[in-house]
Chains A and B, each alone.
Chain A
Amino acid sequence: MTTFTLDDMRRIMGGCAGVPETLDLAGDIGEVSFAELGYDSLAVLEMAARIQQRLGVRIPDDAVDEMKTPQAAVDYVNRRLAA
């Protein structure tokens, strides 16, 4: 079974929404909120769109609203992949 890792998420974040100025994406950012990382709601929406295209996992808008951290996004995607 395919799993979606935090590194996959890092690549998507940096690729579609840019790299934060103050924090290193390669660091321990799993539980840091998107807001603290400098990503607004549009940025998270963009990440969700790229994940959907790459993995074919549909992510409804209300699920996007619930993704507060990169790890939360990874966990959500893996739950959907396993389902």
Chain B
Amino acid sequence: MTEPTRAHSRARSRTPARDHDDRPVVTGIGVAAPNGLGTPAYWAATLDGKSGLGRITRFDSERYPVRVAGEVSEFDDTEHVPSRLAVQTDHWSHLGLTAADMALRDAGVDPATLPEYEMAVVTASSSGGTEFGQREIEKLWSQGPGYVGVYQSIAWFYAATTGQISIRYGMRGPCGVICAEQAGGLDVLAQGRRLLRQDARVVVTGGTDASLCPYGLVAQVSTGLLSTRDDPERAYLPFDDDACGYVPGEGGAMLIMEDAAAARARGARPYGAVAGYGATFDPPPVPGQEPRSNLRRAITLALEEARVDPAEVDVVFADALGVPARDRLEAQAISAVFGPHGVPVTAPKTMTGRLYAGGAALDVATALLAIRDGVIPPTVGVRAAAPAYELDLVRSAARDGPVRNALVLARGHGGFNAAVLVTAA
């Protein structure tokens, strides 16, 4: 997906960077989440512990094993996306386009005034346009091939959101999509950072997912990791003794990432910097043996690159799968690095469900807001973290900071691990 990079003369001719100036900054945030559309609404709800989980309304889920999800209920596809664009794109792209527009406005970036080849787009996706695809496949079955719309050819595939953002704003720099399920929402920041070290000056990054249609849900259910409980308040309880799987959700966040010096030069006010990143892959599962995880290594890689000691980390945004065996692996990785009860841990995704590619991007946005306001948002629903996990879980109510360094963890189904350390700019 990535275009060949052009000459790097501009990057080379820069004056020597000041310390930390190679750390890209995030200057804009756009959020489309089940508990709030737009950053102010989302952040207020999240600090209040207000959940967006509820019975699925996008389709009749009565006969499906999973009936609770996080839907962006305030979102109106035809109101938020121009008509010509809306017909060509899936609901997941609608959420992404809307979040990207919010993020650009928040950053004060006017794409029309910037060189088109210096604006890049790298988003994460894990499902693509399943709802759109299901609609077209239903036409194929019931009416025949001539009834399948032409836009199926461009709406379903993973890069569609990236491509439509690129077209909408004339961003003709390197564009791509990363598919690593939940971890992809962090991996995009590393790819965006790479592009900023080359010729890009602005990168639209982050991700969304929205796969709450019968076809999409069935594909998710097959993993056996989803919660089948009907009570939204008891359906998703990561690290709890009563954990029973996770609730899926839709939405995510888009972020505007820029070179720190360039952002400063144009007078932007960054939320924070992306200071460290680590990615690892789990060993394949061996039947009859306990699963093993390389999450710890991803954490230490991110901290090392950021030159931040574990004691300097103020909060960990956990992946929080809500599946006991996986919760244990994550708790072990956190305790191994930070010590037992050694760092506040939180999972605001208990209020949104897991948003897949959108989830980790939203966690990064949330971590940056936590840094800005010096407060750690809560994990809702969990009555007490299982003592064996030895976690200092921020439960029920937000906890006052200060927050200077925040670590975000994400695991993608199939063995992806990623960690990102964001820090006050």
Kindly state the interface size class of chain A when it binds its partner.
10 to 19
A18 and B147 contacting across the interface, CB-CB below 8 Å: no
- Report the bound CA distance from A45 to B151 in whole Å: 10
B87 touches A18 (CB 8 A): yes
Per a CB cutoff under 8 Å, which of B83, B151, B154 touches A19? Answer: B83
Checking B85, B87, B146, B153 against A52 with a beta-carbon cut-off of 8 angstroms, the contacting residue is: B146
Kindly state whether residue B150 has any CB partner on chain A within 8 Å: yes
Identify which of A14, A20, A38, A53 contacts B146 (C-beta below 8 A). Answer: A53
A82 within 8 Å of B (CB atoms): no
* CB of A46 within 8 Å of the partner chain: yes
Indicate if the CB atoms of A38 and B84 lie closer than 8 Å.
yes
Count of CB-CB pairs between chains A and B under 8 Å: 39
B84/A21 in contact, CB under 8 A: yes
Residue in contact with B150 in the complex, picked from A20, A38, A45, A53, CB distance below 8 Å: A45
Distance of A39 Cα from B83 Cα, bound (Å): 11
**Residues of A contacting B151 with CB < 8 Å?**
42, 46
Q: SS class of chain B's interface: helix, strand, loop or mixed? A: helix
Q: 1/0 per residue A7-24: CB within 8 Å of B? A: 000000010111111000
Q: Cβ of A81 < 8 Å from any Cβ of B?
A: no
Known: A18-B86, A20-B84. A42 touches B150 (CB 8 A): yes
Asked whether A57 is an interface residue with its Cβ less than 8 Å from the other chain, the reply is no
Residue pair B149, A21 in contact (C-beta under 8 Å): no
Contact A46 B150 (CB under 8 A): yes
- Interface size of B by Cβ–Cβ distance < 8 Å? 14
Write out the residue numbers on chain B whose beta carbons fall within 8 Å of the beta carbon of A20: 83-84
Partner of B87 from A16, A21, A49 at Cβ < 8 Å = A16
A19 x B84 contact (CB < 8 A): yes
Note all chain A residues with C-beta closer than 8 A to B149.
16, 46, 49
Contacts of B102-150 to chain A: CB distance below 8 A: 146-147, 149-150
| Distance from B115 Cβ to chain A, minimum over Cβ atoms (Å) | 24
B82 at the interface (CB under 8 A from A): yes
A53 to B85, CA, bound (A): 23
Is B82 in contact with A17, judged by CB distance below 8 angstroms? no
Q: Which residues of B sit under 8 angstroms from A46, Cβ to Cβ?
A: 149-151
User: Roughly how many angstroms separate A68 CA and B153 CA in the complex, as a whole number?
Assistant: 23
- In the complex formed, the residue of A with least CB distance to B154 is A42
Closest 3 pairs (CB-CB, A-B): A18-B83, A18-B84, A18-B87
Taking Cβ atoms with an 8 Å cutoff, the residues of A that contact B are 14, 16-21, 38-39, 42-43, 45-46, 49, 52-53
Spell out B's residues near A (CB within 8 Å). Answer: 82-88, 146-147, 149-151, 153-154
A–B complex contacts, Cβ < 8 Å, 25 sampled? A14-B83, A16-B149, A17-B84, A17-B87, A18-B83, A18-B85, A18-B86, A18-B87, A19-B84, A20-B83, A21-B82, A21-B84, A39-B84, A42-B150, A42-B153, A42-B154, A43-B84, A46-B150, A46-B151, A49-B146, A49-B147, A49-B150, A52-B146, A53-B146, A53-B147
